[in-house]
Amino acid sequence: MKDKLDGIKCAALDIIERAENTSQLNDARVKYLGKSGEISLLMRDMATVPKEERPAMGKLVNELRAAVENALNAKTELISQLELDRRLKEEAIDVTMPAKGKRTGTLHPLTLITQELIEIFANMGFSVTEGPEIESDLFNFQLLNIPKDHPSRDMQDTFYVNDSILLRTQTSAMQARIMTQSKPPIRVVVPGKVYRSDDDASHSPIFNQFEGLAVDKHITMGDLQGCLQTFAQKIFSKDTKVRLRPSYFPFTEPSVEVDVTCSMCHGKGCRVCKGTGWVEILGAGIVNPAVFDACGIDSSVYSGFAFGFGIDRIAMIKYGIPNIKMLYENDMRFLKQFN
Ligand code: PHE
Instruction: Summarize pLDDT for 259-294 with one digit per residue, the tens.
Output: 999 988 888 888 888 899 999 999 999 999 999 999
Question: 166 and 22: one domain?
Answer: no
Distance of alpha carbon 319 from alpha carbon 243, whole angstroms: 21
CA distances from 12 to 9, 41, 79, 289 (A): 5, 15, 17, 101
Q: How far is C-alpha 290 from the geometric centre of its chain's CA atoms? A: 41
Question: 18 and 162: one domain?
Answer: no
In the chain, where do the E strands start and end?
A: 127-128, 134-136, 165-167, 186-195, 206-216, 242-249, 252-261, 278-287, 303-310
Give the global pTM: 0.72
Question: 70 and 21: one domain?
Answer: yes
Q: Domain containing 128: what range?
A: 109-338
Which residue's CA is the closest to the ligand 1 atom numbered 12? 283
Residue 282 CA, closest ligand 1 atom number = 5
- Is the pLDDT reported for residue 101 higher than 90? no
How far apart are the CA of 66 and the centre of ligand 1, in A?
A: 94
- Is the pLDDT reported for residue 252 higher than 90? yes
Give the per-residue pLDDT at 11. 86
Residue 309 CA, closest ligand 1 atom number = 5
Question: 47 and 113: one domain?
Answer: no
Question: 239 and 314: one domain?
Answer: yes
Distance of alpha carbon 114 from alpha carbon 92, whole angstroms: 48
Residue to mutate, 140, 153, 170, 305, ligand 1, most ligand atoms under 8 Å from C-beta: 170
Question: 194 and 315: one domain?
Answer: yes
How far apart are the CA of 246 and the centre of ligand 1, in A?
A: 13
Q: Phi/psi at 309 (nearest 5 deg)?
A: -145, 165
Which residue's CA is the closest to the ligand 1 atom numbered 7? 308
Q: Quick check: is 97 in a domain?
A: no
Residue to mutate, 140, 249, 286, ligand 1, most ligand atoms under 8 Å from C-beta: 249
Which residue's CA is the closest to the ligand 1 atom numbered 4? 170
The set of protein residues with a Cβ atom below 6 angstroms from ligand 1 is: 170, 172, 249, 252, 283-285, 306-308
Q: Quick check: is 98 in a domain?
A: no
Question: 197 and 114: one domain?
Answer: yes
DSSP 133: S
Residues 115-171 have pLDDT tens digits of 999 999 999 999 999 999 999 999 999 999 999 888 777 667 899 999 899 999 999
Q: Are 336 and 106 a contacting pair, CB within 8 Å?
A: yes
Q: How confident is the model at residue 197 (pLDDT cuts 50, 70, 90)?
A: very high
Average pLDDT score, the chain: 92
How far apart are the CA of 328 and the centre of ligand 1, in A?
A: 23
How far apart are the CA of 138 and the centre of ligand 1, in A?
A: 16
Q: How confident is the model at residue 13 (pLDDT cuts 50, 70, 90)?
A: confident
How far apart are the CA of 305 and the centre of ligand 1, in A?
A: 11
